[in-house]
């Protein structure tokens, strides 16, 4: 019986290349397109970031001057924080300056005593820096305090403390959380949190404030 001869590696390659030519070409085109798309996306993101940063730089003097309404809505050729955040923050562009504009927008609403609007924006802030992300959570807590929703505020402050990298901020946010619990008459929980701050962050401003508050409520426990 005549033995069959196995095709060589080169022959195998040619066979599959011919048989699946269309699929290989389609895959190659897809890869090239993906590479080109990624390149253009990165370049476009850089352009978006530059635009957002330039627009954001025009807002800083308004915030420093306390002109929150103009900072929020813009005036003339100056785009406001609301517009900058809409165009350069969030799911599709998500530039650092766009995300910062969103955080500043929430702060501007808060400074303007528009607590509901500020709270809604604080909840949408997405930012890579942990301390800034924590600031957004703490900002939400501040809004809830002004709405007399102390239990919810305490939760937001505790989340801010967990998120923050800076130990001083961690202690400060926990102190705000404990204060909110105290205002909601949850004295036992507030006391536990004050003791935790004193133990975990000795020497901090938050620990000093916690010690004073603990003395104040000790007679009511």
- Exposure of 11 in the CB half-sphere (CA atoms within 13 A): 4
pLDDT in the model for residue 32: 47
Q: How many residues does the chain have?
A: 221
- Lowest model confidence (mean pLDDT) among 24-28, 41-45, 173-177, 202-206: 24-28
pLDDT tens digit string along 20-58? Answer: 444 444 544 554 454 544 444 456 667 778 888 889 889
Write the DSSP string, 92-142.
SS--HHHHHHHHHHHHHHHHTT-HHHHHHHHTT---SSHHHHHHHHHHHHH
Secondary structure letter of residue 6 according to DSSP: P
Do 144 and 157 meet the contact criterion of CB atoms below 8 Å apart? no
d(CA 169, CA 135): 9
Task: Please list, in sequence order, all residues whose beta carbon lies within 8 angstroms of the beta carbon of residue 195, skipping any fewer than 6 positions away.
Answer: 210, 214
CA distance 27 to 153: 53
By the 10 Å C-beta count (0-12 exposed, 13-18 middle, 19+ buried), 131 is classed as middle
Query: Within a 10 A sphere around the Cβ of 43, how many other Cβ atoms?
Result: 10
How confident is the model at residue 9, as a pLDDT? 41
Choose between 34 and 144: higher pLDDT: 144
In angstroms, rounded to a whole number, what is the distance separating the alpha carbons of residues 209 and 195? Answer: 11
Average pLDDT over residues 53-67: 90
pLDDT bucket at 220, cuts 50 / 70 / 90: low
CA dihedral 114, 117, 122, 125 (to 10 degrees): -130
C-alpha–C-alpha distance, residues 37 and 161, integer Å: 39
Residue 3 DSSP label: P
């Amino acid at each position: 019986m005549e033995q069959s001869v196995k095709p060589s590696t080169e022959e195998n390659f040619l066979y599959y290349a011919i048989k699946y030519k269309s699929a290989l070409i389609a895959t190659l085109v897809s890869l090239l397109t993906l590479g080109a798309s990624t390149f253009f996306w990165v370049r476009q993101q850089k352009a978006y970031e530059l635009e957002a940063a330039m627009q954001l730089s025009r807002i800083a003097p308004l915030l420093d001057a306390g002109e929150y309404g103009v900072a929020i809505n813009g005036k003339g050729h100056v785009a406001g924080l609301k517009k900058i955040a809409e165009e350069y923050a969030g799911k599709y562009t998500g530039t650092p300056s766009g995300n910062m504009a969103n955080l500043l927008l929430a702060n501007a609403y808060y400074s303007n005593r528009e607590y509901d609007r500020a709270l809604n924006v604080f909840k949408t802030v997405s930012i890579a820096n942990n301390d800034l992300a924590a600031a957004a959570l703490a900002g939400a807590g501040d809004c809830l305090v002004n709405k007399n929703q102390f239990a919810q505020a305490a939760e937001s402050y505790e989340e801010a403390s967990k998120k923050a990298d800076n130990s001083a901020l961690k202690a400060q946010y926990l102190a705000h959380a404990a204060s909110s619990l105290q205002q909601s008459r949850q004295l036992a929980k507030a006391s536990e949190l004050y003791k935790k701050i004193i133990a975990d962050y000795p020497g901090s401003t938050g620990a000093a404030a916690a010690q004073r508050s603990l003395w104040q409520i000790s007679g009511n426990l």
